[in-house]
Amino acid sequence: MAILSTFFDTATRATINPFNFFGFFTMQSNIILVVVLLVAAVVSLSGRRQSRSLMLARGCATTYIVITGVVYNVLLAGLEGGVSLAWANSVLHIVLPLYAALDWVIFSDRSALPLNKIWVALVYPIVWIVVVTIRGATDGWVPYPFLDPAQGYGVVGLYALAIAVATVVFASIIWLISLLHLVRKLTPVDVPETRLSEIGLHPVIQR
């Protein structure tokens, strides 16, 4: 709703290029989160167990939206530009990131993510940066000034590296939190060997 409202509000004041509007990391991370959570809800309501692939997608979606929330509230809040509707801006940059973080920490409908799969969280940001760089070099559009090729590909490369490092850091936190299960009680299947195998490790001592 917040994205659609922003889209139509912007359309009343200017001609919108959908590729530009939906090219922002904020928009894409929110869409990814909503889609993944809807799929998870449908699976859970149908009585089925969420697959490891879906859990991995949830971990990635949570990573992206948390990055969106942290970057906006630490670096961009109060600056000109961005989402024009105040309530929509709050939903996209505060409410959904906070909800996703609390959902991941508090609720028990998730399993531990394999530590050797953290690299999966890098796939989307890398593809996004490549597409943005290509667009900046061809039609001149970039969602954020620091990714503009006009300032030199060396500078863009440094920012791209910073984004990659930030993604790994936040993903690592999300992955580690998935091991805690703060609310969920251990079941008979949650024996040490099982838990170790879930995170990509194997017990050294064999019976």
Q: Give per-residue pLDDT as tens, 58-93.
A: 999 999 999 999 888 887 665 555 566 778 778 888
C-alpha–C-alpha distance, residues 111 and 139, integer Å: 43
User: What is the distance between the terminal CA atoms of the chain, rounded to a whole angstrom?
Assistant: 55
C-alpha–C-alpha distance, residues 132 and 20, integer Å: 10
Length of the chain: 207
pTM, two decimals, is 0.80
CA distance readout (Å), 68 to 16, 151, 204: 23, 24, 40
Please check whether residue 113 is in contact with residue 53, taking contact to mean a CB–CB distance below 8 angstroms. Answer: no
Q: Give per-residue pLDDT as tens, 117-153.
A: 999 999 999 999 999 999 998 988 888 888 888 888 8
Tokens read off for 135: 């667009």
C-alpha–C-alpha distance, residues 185 and 131, integer Å: 43
